[in-house]
Amino acid sequence: MVLEFRDIINIFKENDNFLILTHKSPDGDTLGTGFALCYFLRNMGKKANVVNSDSFPDRYSFMYEEYTPQEFDIQYVIAVDIADPQLIGSGLAQYQQEGTVDLCIDHHISNKAFAKQTYVDAKASAAALIMYQIFRYSGMEISDIIAKCLYTGIATDTGCFKYENTTPAAHIACAELMAYNIDFSVVNRKMFDVKSRGRIAVEQTVISKMEYFFDGKCSMIVLTKKLMEECGVDPAEFDGLASIPLSVEGVRIGITVKERHENVYKISVRTTEEIDASAFCQQFNGGGHIRAAGCEIHGSLDEVKAKLLEEVGKVCG
């Protein structure tokens, strides 16, 4: 049976004591969708909590600063923006077991349908966009904080409407959400413009060490464990650097090489429209999307770089 919006509204109406699961290493979309749903259910007179295997990052505190967990015996479990039970995380391992999640609302085409019921719209720019459409369909009131959470989910998952996954529906939803008191420009500043001093130091370091190949068509940054230790900042500051090599004018393939263990490197590849990142990574048994993909390569750093550059030569030569 294909789930429709009215079925989801009925689930909200007919149940109570909801636990909302968000994915590990939480981002703006899973938290925005999760807290929006929590506040919406509470406004319906239901009890609901949001949980995460990790802690809620400070930078998203504007979404949960007035949130207090409620006490109740869990009756219904909803996962949002979670494609795979693995992503629930070890801190909530009990919900990785089959039959423990009642409903999953998601926008990943790779969703494994692990929940008892699943609503996936792979064309939606964000899980928060689906949630907004459900709320609007219900005709029930959306409060300012709900609107702010939903806006944040859509804005963060689309890179502030910059990326290919941005749809007309995402723009229209945000045009409507701007009618609420959401301080969207303050949200966007926090999400896209502000960096910690640690992060700034990390970016300074990796940019200064960036290498160029094939007339500047390829750029590469290498994050060894030694380098990461020397920076003396929280290791989390080294996440999400993969877009940096591609930000240089003329670069068509930007590669980030990150040491995982001795002789094991995680490779992130970003490309412009001339090169298929997914096909590139498939050469190393990896995969992903056409402009963003990844793989793992074993060997010494020099061997790993040589293997990568041999393949780069075929697409940039």
Per CB under 8 A, residues contacting its own copies are 160-164, 166-169, 171-172, 174-176, 178-179, 184-186, 188-189, 192-197, 200, 204, 207-208, 216, 243, 246-249, 272-273
Amino acid identity, residue 111?
N
Select 164 or 229, whichever has its Cβ closest to its own copies.
Answer: 164
What are the CA-CA distances from residue 2 to residues 5, 8, 294 (Å)? 10, 11, 33
Select 46 or 217, whichever has its Cβ closest to its own copies.
Answer: 217
Q: Least distance (Å) from its own copies to the CB of residue 138?
A: 22
Select 96 or 167, whichever has its Cβ closest to its own copies.
Answer: 167
Select 86 or 243, whichever has its Cβ closest to its own copies.
Answer: 243
Select 116 or 195, whichever has its Cβ closest to its own copies.
Answer: 195
Q: Least distance (Å) from its own copies to the CB of residue 102?
A: 34
User: Would you say 265 and 304 are in contact if contact means Cβ atoms under 8 Å apart?
Assistant: yes
Complete DSSP assignment for 135-184: HHHHT----HHHHHHHHHHHHHHTTTTTSTT--HHHHHHHHHHTTSS--H
Q: Least distance (Å) from its own copies to the CB of residue 117?
A: 31
Q: In Å, how far from its chain's centre is CA 7?
A: 27
SS3 49: strand
Q: Least distance (Å) from its own copies to the CB of residue 252?
A: 11
Select 43 or 188, whichever has its Cβ closest to its own copies.
Answer: 188
Question: Which candidate, 170, 179, 84, 76, places its Cα nearest to that of 130?
Answer: 170
Amino acid identity, residue 189?
R
Q: Least distance (Å) from its own copies to the CB of residue 207?
A: 6
What are the CA-CA distances from residue 179 to residues 14, 130, 134 (Å)? 30, 18, 18
